[in-house]
Amino acid sequence: MTTALITGANRGLGRHFATELLARGATVYAAAREPATIDLPGVRPLALDITDPDAVKAAAALAADVDLLINNAGVSTGSTLLGDLAGVRAEMDVNFWGTLSMVRAFAPVLAANGGGAVVNVASALSWFAAPGAGAYAVSKAANWNMSNALRLELAGQGTRVTSVHLGLADTDMAAGLDGPKTDPAVVVRRTLDAVAAGDLEVVVDDWSAMVKASLAEDPRAFYARFLPA
């Protein structure tokens, strides 16, 4: 039976991950900065700020039976690289450093439990930048290549690493944004099915697939939509 820990599990994709995993018979640690905001019956609430090294260490000691780590917690401040530097640092602290801290702390736990798997929720913005989302794009690009590097470093202990990429999901984080939004339950099901199949990467929607394919082309064609004529 799977025992999973999900960061940012009090809402959005994290809550959907917890719901789906419970339906699949898993034991679920639902982690959030404020565990009182976790209202899903059947989970084990866990207080966790992934930017706090002591909290991360304590979580790894408490949840010593985990064999699936889902790094879902993330932040989007709307910061640009030439704007509020504190916002840029906040996004890197959560989306890159916090996620890496979780993997470093839980790698021995996963090894002790047979290898298991790590899921890192990235973004289509791992592969491009858009106006007003410079900090987020950079942090998610780092998150994506972190998954690639960790996949190699953890292979020896039998731990699989899956990176998840999507455009907009219909969650609170995307509430003020225009564009097609994927049902978060669909994102979660596709991700968990991909992990079960041993896939290295989940490209959730057509938009993300288009962005990834564009990396092989001249970037002028893709960025023409953002740059002055």
pLDDT number for residue 228: 82
- Tell me which of 60-69, 159-168, 178-187 is least confident: 178-187
In a domain? residue 207: yes
Please tell me the distance from the alpha carbon of residue 11 to that of residue 17, in angstroms, as a whole number. Answer: 10
Please name every residue paired with 119 in a beta bridge, in sequence order, or none if there are none: 70, 162
* 225 CB-near residues (< 8 Å, 6+ apart): none
Tell whether 104 is covered by a domain. Answer: yes
Residue 105 falls within a domain, yes or no? yes
pLDDT value for 180: 67
How many domains is the chain built from? 1
Q: Do the domain assignments include residue 228?
A: no
Q: Within a domain: residue 229?
A: no
Q: 116-167 pLDDT, tens per residue?
A: 999 999 999 999 999 999 999 999 999 999 999 999 999 999 999 999 999 9
Q: The domain that contains 200 carries what CATH number?
A: 3.40.50.720
Let me know if residue 85 belongs to a domain.
yes
When comparing pLDDT for 179 and 182, which is higher? 182
Q: Cα separation of 146 and 135, whole Å?
A: 16
Report whether pLDDT(182) > 90: no
Residue 100 lies in a domain: yes
Output the pTM of the full model. 0.94
Active site residues: 136, 140
The residue range of the domain holding 125 is 3-223
In a domain, 48, yes or no: yes
Q: What is the DSSP string of the chain?
A: --EEEETTTTSHHHHHHHHHHHHTT-EEEEEESSGGG---TTSEEEE--TT-HHHHHHHHHHTTT--EEEE---------TTS-HHHHHHHHIIIIIIHHHHHHHHHHHHHHTT--EEEEE--GGGS---TT-HHHHHHHHHHHHHHHHHHHHHGGGT-EEEEEE-SEESSGGGTT--S-EE-HHHHHHHHHHHHHHT-SEEE-SHHHHHHHHHTTS-HHHHHTTTS--
**Sorting pLDDT into bands at 50, 70 and 90, what band is 168?**
confident
Q: Angle of helix 53-62 relative to helix 99-112, nearest 10 degrees? A: 20
